[in-house]
Structure 1
Amino acid sequence: MTATTASKEVLEEAALQAGLELDQPESIREGSHAIYRVGDIVARIGRPGSLQDAQRELRVSQWLNSSGIPTVEVVAELPQPIVVGDRPVTWWHLIPDHRPATPAELGAMLRALHSLPPPTDPDLPRYDPFGDLRARLATAGTVNDDDRTWLLTRYDELRRQHDELPDPVRIAVIHGDAWQGNLVVPPSGVPTVLDLDKLSVGRPEWDLVQLAVDYSDFARIPEAGYLSFVNAYGGQDITGWPDFRLFADIQELRWVAFAIGQAGASEAAAQQAKHRIACVRGQAPQPWVWEAL
């Protein structure tokens, strides 16, 4: 079995090794992770070569829960992780009948998370807002030359501005993908953290910028909702911060790159990628409307 083995085949082999019976597994998402529901268990299938990341996610879950931040829990009865075709598979308890968190619930969780001292185990990486972003923009086959040149020039400009920032006032444990869908509320009413693969240490503003641009650039949440987020976090509104626009532009370029990466899957995804590029190039007025992919 190769590193490029389809996620469904990886799931079937991992379930066989775990002694878990597959009964009509349901695909939840195909992205950086492939995620399946198997009864009351959720299987997360990582990228090839991401075993260490998967092992860290398991330890992160245990650390957060022990630190008083309710987080999705591992299925202790199953072997963790199982590697199939160089792809790690981890098993998690399903959180049924949940809803996305409110902005206030997200703000309260982030305030608690950012107050935690960084752990010694797991050893969290330093957050990198760029990652392989430039390479993905440079090699995207669905982008025309004019857009590619603009996107790469924009990347270089934002990278330079970021690298010239003064040292941060503080470094915190951050989630790395803090939006309302990654904090869910089951019938118990206890907000529970999902998607731990980007948990790291870095500028806490990276956890605040997603909701801020949802408010400022997309009008996805009303002013009252955004203010409830700000107040729950402790009163820090980063839309008035001098470097907010830089952080917002980096975040939005990452969202553009994600859409470009999905563009080959369907005509709708290709059109969405073109629309997002037009927006960041200033060819469409705000508030922007971007469809989920």
Structure 2
Amino acid sequence: MADLATGAPSSFTEPLARRVLAEAVDRADLPRGPVELIRIGSNAVFRIAGDLIARVASPSAPLATAEKQIRVARWLAAERFPVTRAVDVEQPVEFGSCAVTFWESVAPGTTYAPIGDVAAVIRRLHQLPTPDGLDLPEIEPFGPAGADLPDFPGLAPDDACFLQERIEWAREAFPRLPFELPYGAIHGDANVGNVLVDTAGHPVLIDLDSFATGPREWDLIQTALFATRLGWHSRSEYADFVRVYGYDVTQWSGFECLADMREIAMTSWLSKKATESQATAREAGRRISDIRNGAPRTDWGAY
């Protein structure tokens, strides 16, 4: 699940990603083998040769983002932090304006960690001192001030205009929120979907695309949003998350505003993909209607 208001363009397709991956595998001198698409969104994620994971970034994604992922993964591995391990090759590999990174597979299948383990991983991450030279960007969930607003060709014009207006609002309001927790290294897209269980039963943090420096509340807001608005976590699960992490972001004065922003980020990312299928377009339209009208969000689908 990606989180930023900008996402992969609709021209980023599986055939394109497979062509890029084939070249990158050869350049990295990695074994060829069966290639299985796991998912495609902001990245195309493949399982290759059974025990490796390849992430092919879209042509619009900066090479610097892939380079950052490798730096962060190697820093966290040196700290014995439970993070996805970058394969020991020279990477990222760039081909056709796409950056490709290679990772050790966490497990043969996909099992998400219990919510208490998710909280423990986030808490431990937030306790780590950030080393000099890691060169993390400042988080800008909606892009820098003055940047062009994303287009949404798959939406009805009034929905696209509404979403652009909300992105502009969030871009201006986010830096002014009265954050309570210290600034520091954050995952940037922390949620249960990005903490997997490895073959030994331990939680492992994945998906380092959005890693940045910023307010720690940003790493807590998705779990709170999933529990309070979307119904994707139960009350008892959220209580466990708060107990383990040690802070309840829903009690912070800026919670409702930040939750609104997170909804916009989630919906904007999905809306960029509205041209891909009628189901995606319907889901994006439903979300925009619910946000616009203040309707319940409990029927939102997970993407």
Q: 2:139 aligns with which of 118, 127, 141?
A: 127
In 2: Cα distance, 1:273 partner to 1:188 partner: 38
Question: 1:186-265 maps to which residues of 2 (within 5 A)?
Answer: 186-234=198-246, 236-265=247-276
Query: 4+ runs of 1 displaced by more than 4 Å?
Result: 132-138, 166-169
Calculate the TM-score normalised by the size of structure 2: 0.88
With over 3 angstroms needed to count, the CA separation of the structure-2 counterparts of 1:248 and 1:84, relative to structure 1, is same
Q: Is the 8 A contact 1:279 1:288 kept in 2?
A: no
- Stretch of structure 1 that moved more, 142-151 or 275-284: 142-151
In 2: Cα distance, 1:167 partner to 1:237 partner: 13
With over 3 angstroms needed to count, the CA separation of the structure-2 counterparts of 1:148 and 1:132, relative to structure 1, is farther
With over 3 angstroms needed to count, the CA separation of the structure-2 counterparts of 1:226 and 1:166, relative to structure 1, is closer
Q: 2:67 aligns with which of 55, 68, 72?
A: 55
Work out the number of aligned pairs and report it: 288
- Stretch of structure 1 that moved more, 132-141 or 201-210: 132-141
Question: 1:34-49 maps to which residues of 2 (within 5 A)?
Answer: 34-38=44-48, 39-48=50-59
Q: Percent identity?
A: 34
With over 3 angstroms needed to count, the CA separation of the structure-2 counterparts of 1:146 and 1:268, relative to structure 1, is same
Question: 1:1-293 maps to which residues of 2 (within 5 A)?
Answer: 6-38=16-48, 39-48=50-59, 50-76=62-88, 78-96=89-107, 97-131=109-143, 139-166=151-178, 169-234=181-246, 236-282=247-293, 284=295, 286-293=296-303
Q: Structure 1: which amino acid aligns with 2:251?
A: G
With over 3 angstroms needed to count, the CA separation of the structure-2 counterparts of 1:87 and 1:75, relative to structure 1, is same
Aligned-pair CA distance for 1:110: 0.9
Q: Structure 2: which amino acid aligns with 1:112?
A: R
Calculate the TM-score normalised by the size of structure 1: 0.90
In 1: Cα distance, 2:178 partner to 2:253 partner: 12
In 2: Cα distance, 1:222 partner to 1:230 partner: 13
Aligned-pair CA distance for 1:70: 1.2
Aligned-pair CA distance for 1:272: 0.7
Q: Structure 1: which amino acid aligns with 2:55?
A: R
With over 3 angstroms needed to count, the CA separation of the structure-2 counterparts of 1:130 and 1:263, relative to structure 1, is same
Q: Structure 1: which amino acid aligns with 2:30?
A: L
Q: Which residue of 1 aligns with 2:8?
A: none
**Stretches of structure 1 lacking an aligned partner (at least 5 in a row):** none
Q: Structure 1: which amino acid aligns with 2:221?
A: V
**Stretches of structure 2 lacking an aligned partner (at least 5 in a row):** 1-10
In 1: Cα distance, 2:99 partner to 2:170 partner: 33
Greater relative contact order (Cα < 8 A, sep 6+): 2
Bigger radius of gyration, 1 or 2? 1
With over 3 angstroms needed to count, the CA separation of the structure-2 counterparts of 1:24 and 1:248, relative to structure 1, is same
What do you get for the CA RMSD once the two structures are aligned? 2.3
